[in-house]
Amino acid sequence: MATIVVVGAGFAGHTAALYLGHHLGKKHEVVMVNKYDYFGFVPSWVWVGTGRMDPQKTIIPLKPVYDRMHVRFVHGALTEIHPEPEEQFVVVQKADGGTEQVAYDYLIIATGPYLNFDATPGLGPHTGNTYSICTLDHAIQTRDAYLELVQRLEKGDKAKIVIGTGHGTATCQGAAFEYISNIHKDLVRRGLRDRVDLVFFSNEPALGDFGIRGVTARYKGQLVTSAEFVEAVFRDFGIQWEIGRAAKKIEPGRIYWEDMDGNFGETTFDFAMLVPQFKGHGIHIAVKGPNGEDLHDKIFNAGGFVIVDGIYGLPYERLERNPDAWPSVYQNPWYPNIFAAGIAFAPPGPISVPHTTPNGTKIAPAPPRTGMISGIIGRIVALNVIDLVKKGRMTHDERMTEMFAACVASVGDSLWDGSAVILVVHPVVPDFRRYPNEGGRDLFVTHMEMGLSGAWMKFLIHHTFMYKFKGLPGWRIIPE
């Protein structure tokens, strides 16, 4: 009997656990380790953060799902990995205060991001200066602060709201775009939009870069860049933008920044939601050998992400022309029974063109590996572990230079006057070898759209995926 341990019940890890439980749970042991006792549907926390959705509608208690799917649930956080063949166990600090040692034959690390607020002094809800929608607790805090601001606006106050990224190497610009668009729509609905200056603050080199080097796609039959598309949306909504800027320090009501030319400046605000730099949870996980030797650098890189089967260390000019540099099976090269999925795996480099200012500050959006991308990788890793258990060999692979992904960013939650931006990209990472004259992407597939139909699609995605992640009958029919 094989024991498979999955760490992290986000999009990647929860998807993997569902497949593993379905295929192996009755004859083998599948264990999920997660620090929360619920799965959170992160895309809908945008609506939580504007007070438009009950937080309870975005979470699923994990244990009932795993009991049904033949997965043992351990509520706690991973603290140690002992990967050598004579040991092969993890240590978990349990939520009840105890510790548990869990042996494994295969280990899947899907721990999601460590929110590195401290990389920007003064950033984050713990300082009281800025807010976040990256966790459910943060989204609720953000909602409360936003609704308090709304009360002041209703009394006649005016305000400046800044939404975006809080570090030069932050990712999730798409979430910031969606949140500021929902703020705009909510203020319009309340009749308060004329009392607020809305500013999008980002480390992107161009609007619509989104950490994927931007997109050229078909929109209403014409080729349009994502920069042109987002600019048109922002102009229509009256949203200002400040891009190519790295937040260096936050003080109450003030962002100190450096731009790509090395100039320094300040942006004031009354309310700000800024996404922090993401690191891997590996920075807090010990990796030990039988005699206590430190093996950390065999599993994690300096940023805490899991080293997998990518080609690391290539300069950007070579990386962008080598689609095979991106991992295909997400397997650690030193320990073949360890895999990573979602944000936890270390990408070989950025997708967007990196930039360093004359002062040495790096301004480069990190590669997004969330949502649909995480789910796809979670499925691939799970199916390969299933193959290894049943056949002794892997039969599934997919690089991000081959991967199709779709993003639906809502503009309000109404099914009657709401809207959403739909972005379909193939592949996620440009492949200039296959599409040398098309910006590295398949223009037949890559597409942008915006309208009421997108709002209906976003609504359906929420409910369809909440159904899927409960592991209810037919869940496998719903694609990742």
Each residue's pLDDT expressed in tens, for the chain with a length of 480 residues: 999 999 999 999 999 999 999 999 999 999 999 999 999 999 999 999 999 999 999 999 999 999 999 999 999 999 999 999 999 999 999 999 999 999 999 999 999 999 999 999 999 999 999 999 999 999 999 999 999 999 999 999 999 999 999 999 999 999 999 999 999 999 999 999 999 999 999 999 999 999 999 999 877 778 899 999 999 999 999 999 999 999 999 999 999 999 999 999 999 999 999 999 999 999 999 999 999 999 999 999 999 999 999 999 999 999 999 999 999 999 999 999 999 999 999 999 999 999 999 999 999 999 999 899 999 999 999 999 999 999 999 999 999 999 999 888 888 777 887 788 889 999 999 999 999 988 899 999 998 888 888 888 898 999 999 999 999 999 999 999
DSSP H or E run through 462: helix 452-469
DSSP notation for 402-444: T--EEEEEEE-S-TTT-EEEEEEESSSS--TTT-TTTTTS-TT
Amino acid making up residue 330 = Y
* Cβ(11)–Cβ(375) below 8 Å: yes
Nearest-angstrom CA–CA distance, 211 and 174: 9
Q: Is residue 296 part of a domain?
A: yes
Q: Is residue 401 part of a domain?
A: no
Annotate 3-13 with b (16+ C-beta within 10 A) or e (fewer): bbbbbbbbbbb
* Cβ(350)–Cβ(367) below 8 Å: yes
Q: For the domain that residue 350 is a member of, what is the CATH number?
A: 3.50.50.100
Which backbone phi and psi does 256 adopt, to 5 degrees? -100, 125
Q: Is residue 295 part of a domain?
A: yes
Q: Is residue 165 part of a domain?
A: no
Q: Which residues pair with 410 in a beta bridge?
A: 420
Q: Residue 160 corresponds to which tokens in the numbers above?
A: 């400046």
Q: Is residue 343 part of a domain?
A: yes
Q: Is residue 353 part of a domain?
A: yes
Domain hosting 348: range is: 3-115+279-390
Amino acid making up residue 394 = M
Which backbone phi and psi does 50 adopt, to 5 degrees? -110, 5
Number of domains in the chain: 1
Q: Is residue 143 part of a domain?
A: no
Q: Could you tell me the pTM of the whole model?
A: 0.96
CA distance to 92, 100, 103, 338, 404, per residue, from 108 (Å): 14, 17, 13, 6, 23
* Cβ(10)–Cβ(97) below 8 Å: no
How long a stretch of residues is the chain?
480
Q: Is residue 333 part of a domain?
A: yes
* Cβ(442)–Cβ(426) below 8 Å: yes
Q: Which residue has the tokens 């599993």?
A: 299
Q: Which residues pair with 447 in a beta bridge?
A: 218, 424
